[in-house]
Amino acid sequence: MENIKNIINNEEYEFYGIRVDSCNKYNVGDICENSHQWWQDDPEDGSEYNEDNHLWDGGELNGTCCLKVESENIEETIKIAEKHYFGDNITLIAGDYAEGGNDSGELVIEDAIVLYVIK
């Protein structure tokens, strides 16, 4: 946790987030792929049903989804991310532009860069 705290306190990005990913195994310095808007129920807006994920794909977002993290809540944010999102790959990502996501505490970071691989 100390490494992550030092990164957040010493880097100069505007937004930081914890990303759980089941598809991509990122390395430090990688730029993350844009996320998709996934729905459990048919939103009846023309979204396609994804058989692999068993979810409705509302399309590509303007960045990468993550849970907003600050140096004071790193452990808590990682625990929440592990509990509510599926995937074995967990990274600290950052960027200068973000918008809010649909989930509580969620950010969508544009051109997100991987700063630290947690697992």
Laid out side by side, the sheet with 89-95 consists of 98-100, 106-109, 64-68, 15-21, 89-95, 113-117
Q: What is the pLDDT of residues 30-48, one digit of tens each?
A: 999 998 776 456 666 766 6
Q: What pLDDT does residue 41 have?
A: 61
Q: What is the mean pLDDT of the chain?
A: 87
Structural domains of the chain ordered from first start: 2-34+61-117 (3.20.170)
Q: What is the pTM of this model?
A: 0.85
The token duo for 37 is: 């808007």
Q: What is the pLDDT along the chain (119 residues), one digit of tens a residue?
A: 899 999 999 999 999 999 998 877 899 999 999 987 764 566 667 666 666 766 666 567 899 999 999 999 999 999 999 998 888 999 999 999 999 988 889 999 999 999 999 99
- The amino acid occupying position 95 is G
Cα separation, 22 vs 88, in Å, equals: 6
| CA dihedral of 72, 88, 29, 74, whole degrees rounded to 10 | 0
